[in-house]
C-alpha cells in the first residue's frame, strides 16, 4: 500500500480534532475545579491582538472542513461562529469530525494535481492539491490545535503531549 491523499489528510485531521475535544474537556473540568468562569478560558488570548481560544477552535474546524471539501470538490457545510461554551466548542469539533468521516478515499485520492483556488482576503492563492494539503491545510490545522493547547496550558490546565498527539 502506498500513501494516498486521503490517508495523509482525513484520518490525521480526525485524530487531531478528536485530541482537541479531549483537551477542551480538560479545560472545562479545570474551570469547574478551580471555580474559574469558563468564559475566561474561552476568551483567553496569548497576546491582545491574537485570537482567543474559541476562535482557535473554530479556525481549526474551518481549515479541516473546508480544506477536505476543496480537495473532494464539494461544498463544506457552513458553521456559524457562535460557540460561547466548552460544550458548544466540543460539539463544533464533533460535527466537523462527523463531516470528515463522510468523505471517502474515492473523493480525495488522486487529487495531487487538482487546482485549488483559495480566496484569502482580496487575493486568490492557487495551489495544486498536494501542496494545498501539505503546506497549507495540515500545518494550519496543527497550528490552531497547538495554539488552543498552548492557551489552556498557559492558563494552568494539565494537558501534555499525549493529549495533543491522541491515540489510535
- Name the site residues for its own copies (rule: CB under 8 A): 1-5, 7-8, 11-12, 15-16, 46-47, 50, 110, 112-113, 130-131, 134-136, 138-140, 142-143, 146-147, 149-150, 153-154, 156, 161, 164-166, 168
* Rounded least distance, CB 165 to its own copies, Å: 6
Of 76 and 157, CB closest to its own copies: 157
Nearest CB to its own copies, comparing residues 87 and 139: 139
**Shortest Cβ 69–its own copies spacing (Å):** 19
Using only the alpha carbons of the chain, give its radius of gyration.
Answer: 16
How far is residue 137 from each of residues 8, 18, 44, 78, measured CA to CA in Å?
11, 17, 24, 18
3-state helix, strand, coil in the chain (%, to 5): 65, 5, 30
As measured in angstroms, the least distance from the Cβ of 157 to its own copies is: 9
Distance CA 165, CA 162 (A): 5
Q: Which is nearer to its own copies, 81 or 158 (CB)?
A: 158
- Tell me how far the alpha carbon of residue 132 is from its chain's centroid: 16
Amino acid at each position: 500500500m502506498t500513501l494516498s491523499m486521503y490517508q495523509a489528510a482525513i484520518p490525521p485531521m480526525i485524530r487531531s480534532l478528536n485530541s482537541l475535544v479531549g483537551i477542551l474537556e480538560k479545560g472545562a473540568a479545570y474551570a469547574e475545579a478551580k471555580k474559574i468562569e469558563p468564559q475566561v478560558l474561552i476568551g483567553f488570548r496569548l497576546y491582545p491582538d491574537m485570537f482567543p481560544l474559541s476562535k482557535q477552535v473554530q479556525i481549526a474546524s474551518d481549515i479541516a472542513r473546508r480544506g477536505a471539501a476543496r480537495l473532494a470538490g464539494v461544498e463544506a457545510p457552513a458553521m456559524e461562529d457562535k460557540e460561547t461554551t466548552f460544550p458548544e466548542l466540543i460539539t463544533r469539533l464533533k460535527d466537523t469530525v462527523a463531516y470528515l468521516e463522510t468523505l471517502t478515499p474515492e473523493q480525495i485520492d488522486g487529487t495531487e494535481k487538482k487546482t485549488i483556488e483559495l480566496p484569502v482576503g482580496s487575493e486568490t492563492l492557487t495551489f495544486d492539491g498536494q501542496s494545498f494539503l501539505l503546506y497549507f491545510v495540515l500545518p494550519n490545522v496543527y497550528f490552531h490545535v497547538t495554539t488552543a493547547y498552548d492557551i489552556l496550558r498557559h492558563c494552568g490546565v494539565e494537558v501534555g503531549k499525549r493529549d495533543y498527539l491522541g491515540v489510535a
